[in-house]
Protein backbone atom coordinates (compact mmCIF):
# COMPACT_ATOMS: atom_id res chain seq x y z
CA UNK A 1 0.00 0.00 0.00
CA UNK A 2 1.28 3.45 -0.93
CA UNK A 3 0.46 6.15 1.66
CA UNK A 4 1.47 9.70 2.47
CA UNK A 5 2.43 10.25 6.09
CA UNK A 6 1.01 13.23 7.90
CA UNK A 7 3.75 15.04 9.84
CA UNK A 8 2.48 13.94 13.25
CA UNK A 9 2.19 10.37 11.96
CA UNK A 10 5.84 10.41 10.90
CA UNK A 11 6.93 11.78 14.28
CA UNK A 12 4.73 9.32 16.18
CA UNK A 13 5.99 6.36 14.14
CA UNK A 14 9.59 7.36 14.83
CA UNK A 15 8.94 7.49 18.59
CA UNK A 16 6.44 4.61 18.86
CA UNK A 17 3.99 7.11 20.34
CA UNK A 18 1.11 5.54 22.33
CA UNK A 19 -1.38 7.49 20.19
CA UNK A 20 -0.54 5.41 17.11
CA UNK A 21 -3.38 3.30 15.81
CA UNK A 22 -2.96 -0.42 15.22
CA UNK A 23 -3.60 0.24 11.52
CA UNK A 24 -0.82 2.85 11.34
CA UNK A 25 1.62 0.46 13.02
CA UNK A 26 0.62 -2.37 10.70
CA UNK A 27 1.11 -0.24 7.58
CA UNK A 28 4.47 0.96 8.88
CA UNK A 29 5.68 -2.58 9.60
CA UNK A 30 4.38 -4.06 6.33
CA UNK A 31 7.33 -4.56 3.95
CA UNK A 32 5.00 -4.05 1.00
CA UNK A 33 4.01 -0.55 2.15
CA UNK A 34 5.39 2.45 0.30
CA UNK A 35 5.58 5.23 2.87
CA UNK A 36 5.97 8.71 1.46
CA UNK A 37 7.26 11.63 3.51
CA UNK A 38 6.54 14.99 1.97
CA UNK A 39 8.88 17.95 1.84
CA UNK A 40 5.91 19.70 3.48
CA UNK A 41 6.60 17.67 6.62
CA UNK A 42 10.27 18.64 6.51
CA UNK A 43 9.23 22.28 6.29
CA UNK A 44 6.74 21.93 9.15
CA UNK A 45 9.24 20.13 11.38
CA UNK A 46 11.95 22.72 10.69
CA UNK A 47 9.60 25.63 11.41
CA UNK A 48 8.25 24.16 14.64
CA UNK A 49 11.74 23.15 15.79
CA UNK A 50 13.03 26.67 15.07
CA UNK A 51 10.17 28.18 17.07
CA UNK A 52 10.90 25.88 20.00
CA UNK A 53 7.53 24.10 19.62
CA UNK A 54 9.09 20.75 18.74
CA UNK A 55 11.88 18.97 20.58
CA UNK A 56 14.06 16.53 18.65
CA UNK A 57 17.11 14.49 19.63
CA UNK A 58 19.07 16.14 16.81
CA UNK A 59 18.55 19.03 14.37
CA UNK A 60 15.75 18.51 11.81
CA UNK A 61 18.01 17.93 8.80
CA UNK A 62 19.83 15.06 10.53
CA UNK A 63 16.74 13.74 12.30
CA UNK A 64 14.65 13.52 9.12
CA UNK A 65 17.42 12.22 6.85
CA UNK A 66 18.38 9.39 9.24
CA UNK A 67 14.80 8.28 9.68
CA UNK A 68 14.10 8.33 5.95
CA UNK A 69 17.15 6.16 5.32
CA UNK A 70 16.70 3.83 8.32
CA UNK A 71 13.02 3.19 7.59
CA UNK A 72 13.02 3.02 3.80
CA UNK A 73 10.75 6.04 3.42
CA UNK A 74 10.31 7.70 0.04
CA UNK A 75 10.56 11.46 -0.32
CA UNK A 76 7.73 13.35 -1.99
CA UNK A 77 8.80 16.75 -3.30
CA UNK A 78 6.30 19.58 -3.72
CA UNK A 79 5.37 20.00 -7.37
CA UNK A 80 3.51 22.77 -9.12
CA UNK A 81 0.55 20.36 -9.51
CA UNK A 82 0.51 19.93 -5.74
CA UNK A 83 0.63 23.66 -5.11
CA UNK A 84 -2.10 24.52 -7.60
CA UNK A 85 -4.34 21.73 -6.24
CA UNK A 86 -4.85 24.04 -3.24
CA UNK A 87 -7.26 26.17 -5.29
CA UNK A 88 -9.74 23.28 -5.19
CA UNK A 89 -9.72 22.91 -1.41
CA UNK A 90 -12.41 24.54 0.71
CA UNK A 91 -11.20 26.00 4.01
CA UNK A 92 -12.24 23.07 6.20
CA UNK A 93 -8.79 23.18 7.76
CA UNK A 94 -6.74 26.34 8.18
CA UNK A 95 -3.31 24.76 8.79
CA UNK A 96 -1.30 25.40 5.60
CA UNK A 97 0.91 22.34 6.13
CA UNK A 98 -2.07 20.01 6.41
CA UNK A 99 -3.81 21.63 3.44
CA UNK A 100 -0.75 21.06 1.25
CA UNK A 101 -0.46 17.44 2.42
CA UNK A 102 -4.13 16.96 1.44
CA UNK A 103 -3.44 18.57 -1.95
CA UNK A 104 -0.50 16.21 -2.48
CA UNK A 105 -2.54 13.15 -1.53
CA UNK A 106 -5.28 14.25 -3.94
CA UNK A 107 -2.88 14.98 -6.79
CA UNK A 108 -1.05 11.68 -6.29
CA UNK A 109 -4.32 9.76 -5.73
CA UNK A 110 -2.98 8.13 -2.56
CA UNK A 111 -4.36 7.91 0.98
CA UNK A 112 -3.13 10.07 3.82
CA UNK A 113 -2.12 8.30 7.03
CA UNK A 114 -3.38 10.71 9.68
CA UNK A 115 -5.16 10.92 13.02
CA UNK A 116 -6.47 14.39 12.14
CA UNK A 117 -10.23 13.92 11.82
CA UNK A 118 -10.66 17.39 10.27
CA UNK A 119 -8.92 16.17 7.13
CA UNK A 120 -11.71 13.68 6.45
CA UNK A 121 -13.80 16.64 5.27
CA UNK A 122 -11.69 16.67 2.10
CA UNK A 123 -12.12 14.30 -0.86
CA UNK A 124 -9.07 12.24 0.08
CA UNK A 125 -8.88 8.85 1.73
CA UNK A 126 -7.69 9.18 5.31
CA UNK A 127 -6.46 6.07 7.09
CA UNK A 128 -5.93 5.72 10.79
pLDDT for residue 45? 98
Mean pLDDT of 87-109: 90
* Domain locations in the chain as residue ranges: 2-127
pLDDT for residue 34? 98
Digit-coded pLDDT (tens) for 2-45 = 999 999 999 999 999 999 999 999 999 999 999 999 999 999 99
Digit-coded pLDDT (tens) for 47-92 = 999 999 999 999 999 999 999 999 999 999 999 999 998 888 888 8
Cβ within 8 Å of residue 33, ≥6 positions away: 1, 2, 3, 27
Q: Are 110 and 3 in contact (CB under 8 A)?
A: yes
pLDDT for residue 49? 98
**97, 103, 109, 114: CA torsion to nearest 10:** 30
For the chain, the first-to-last Cα distance in angstroms comes to 14
pLDDT for residue 91? 81
Asked whether the predicted pLDDT for residue 127 surpasses 80, the reply is: yes
Q: What is the pTM of this model?
A: 0.93
Q: Are 22 and 128 in contact (CB under 8 A)?
A: no
Cβ within 8 Å of residue 39, ≥6 positions away: 75, 76, 77, 78
| Window from 18-27, 38-47, 92-101, 116-125 with minimum mean pLDDT | 92-101
Q: What is 2-127's CATH topology?
A: Rossmann fold (3.40.50)
pLDDT for residue 90? 82
Amino acid sequence: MKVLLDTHTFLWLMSDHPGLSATAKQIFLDNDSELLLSAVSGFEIAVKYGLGKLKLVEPPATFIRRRIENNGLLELPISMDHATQLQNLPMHHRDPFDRLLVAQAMAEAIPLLTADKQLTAYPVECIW
